[in-house]
Amino acid sequence: METPSSSTPVTLEDVARRAGVSPSTASRALNGSARKVRDEYQSRVHAAAAELGYTANTAAQAVARGRGDHLAMVVNGINDDYFSPVAAGVLKAAEADDRMVTMISSRNSAQQATRVVSTLRSQRPRAIILAGGRSVTSTVWEERLVEELAAFQSEGGRVVAISEEGMPFDTVSLDNVAAASELAAALVGLGYRRVTILGGPADARTAHDRVQGFVAGLAGHGIEVPPSGVIHCGFDRDGGYAAAGECLRRRMPAELVLAISDTVAVGAIARFREAGLSLPADMAVAGIDDVTVLRDVAPALTTVRLPWPEAGRAALDLALQPAGAEPRLVRLTGHAVLRESTPGIGGR
């Protein structure tokens, strides 16, 4: 209960001395594993620790044990106040487990990601969680990234990737192709025929898969999307805004716009509205993710609900399990949620 106005942290030795036991006993009583300490000592040590305001030095523990106990996560980038659903999912799960997670942004670049993983590695965390961010064709830097992660793993760390499959690590994958495909199919069912796809960055794996899913889903119902029917853009609101502008400029004959994400969809909606279109009457728009912050935009956005919280949970669970002989794969799927932004077309 003391708040020493002095300046040096209380150490385990201080506690031990106060409790009249050896440092090892204090260690076992406080942070040790199997309870092998006499009840009397146990309580005396705890009392001493409380009185002194002792807090274990996790850095020292990490040195002694060879590895820390916290998680590290690499996210793609940080856009003002919108936080990637992936990151939120992991953070939420970590919150439930009372775990700390160190976050760092890869700034949307595999090169930076490599640097960043190297830095992360120096923290000796229990696990590194890599959230999204791969590109279609694996670049040199991406190979270096995998090497760096593999090195971390071979040192005893755990690595788990979220989003795209194909990395030699435990992976939680959201089936982007299936998600996009299901959505596309559902919308064809509502009568839409002429569609334009807002495809995000051409080299981003997630975006690529979703576009592919859209195309496949449409093709399954006899609708072909010409290459010109896919407009590439940034993966955010502004990207969608710009792409919608492009869509208008080209006077594309679309009655439905399929965006690779909700945020892109929202940007598109803003642009269309600015152009004087009335939504959803003049143009239907759908996205993917089911970002809850956007539940209340008008018209309510048709989307695919992706189980981000579950993905975060799964990633954490994988991270806490010891590594298996083979990389594990947890595959999660989403489902289309049809709302006002795609009321359907009477026709055909």
Partner DNA sequence: TTGTATGCGTTATCAA
Partner DNA sequence: TTGATAACGCATACAA
What single DSSP character describes residue 293? G
Segment near DNA (CB under 7 A), from 6-14, 80-88, 232-240, 277-285? 6-14
Size of the site for its own copies (CB under 8 A): 74
Instruction: Tell me which residues in 291-310 interact with its own copies (CB under 8 A).
Output: 291-298, 308-309
Is 43 a binding residue for its own copies by CB under 8 A? The answer is no
Q: What, of its own copies, DNA, none, does residue 140 touch, CB below 5 to 8 Å by kind?
A: none
Is 12 a binding residue for DNA by CB under 7 A? The answer is yes
Instruction: Tell me which residues in 273-312 interact with DNA (CB under 7 A).
Output: none
Instruction: Tell me which residues in 92-151 interact with its own copies (CB under 8 A).
Output: 92, 94-95, 98, 100-105, 107, 118-124, 147, 150-151
Segment near its own copies (CB under 8 A), from 33-41, 74-82, 204-212, 327-335? 74-82
Q: Which residue has the tokens 């590194």?
A: 128
3-state DSSP call for residue 72?
Answer: strand
Q: What, of DNA, its own copies, none, does residue 118 touch, CB below 5 to 8 Å by kind?
A: its own copies
Is 119 a binding residue for DNA by CB under 7 A? The answer is no
Segment near DNA (CB under 7 A), from 18-26, 255-263, 278-286, 327-335? 18-26
Do 197 and 229 meet the contact criterion of CB atoms below 8 Å apart?
A: yes
Do 31 and 69 meet the contact criterion of CB atoms below 8 Å apart?
A: no
Whether the bond into 299 is cis, omega within 30 of 0: yes
- Token couple for 318: 């994988």
Beta-carbon contacts of residue 33 (< 8 Å; ≥ 6 apart): none
Listed in sequence order, the DSSP H helices in 198-299 are 205-219, 237-249, 262-274
Q: Give the strand pairing for 230-232 and 158-163.
A: unpaired
Cα–Cα distance, 166 to 149 (Å, whole number): 14
Do 207 and 178 meet the contact criterion of CB atoms below 8 Å apart?
A: no
Report in angstroms how near the CB of residue 167 gets to its own copies at its nearest. 15
Do 14 and 23 meet the contact criterion of CB atoms below 8 Å apart?
A: no
Do 217 and 288 meet the contact criterion of CB atoms below 8 Å apart?
A: no
Q: What, of DNA, its own copies, none, does residue 91 touch, CB below 5 to 8 Å by kind?
A: its own copies
Cα–Cα distance, 96 to 169 (Å, whole number): 24
Report in angstroms how near the CB of residue 232 gets to its own copies at its nearest. 21
What single DSSP character describes residue 256? E
Is 63 a binding residue for DNA by CB under 7 A? The answer is yes
Size of the site for DNA (CB under 7 A): 30
Q: Give the strand pairing for 170-174 and 329-332.
A: parallel
Q: What, of its own copies, DNA, none, does residue 21 touch, CB below 5 to 8 Å by kind?
A: DNA
Cα–Cα distance, 225 to 198 (Å, whole number): 12
Is 333 a binding residue for DNA by CB under 7 A? The answer is no
Site string for DNA, 69-88 (x = CB under 7 A): --------------------
Among residues 21, 72, 73, 186, the one that binds DNA under rule CB under 7 A: 21
Binding site for DNA (CB under 7 A): 8-9, 11-13, 21-25, 27-28, 30-33, 36-38, 40-41, 54, 56-57, 60-61, 63-66
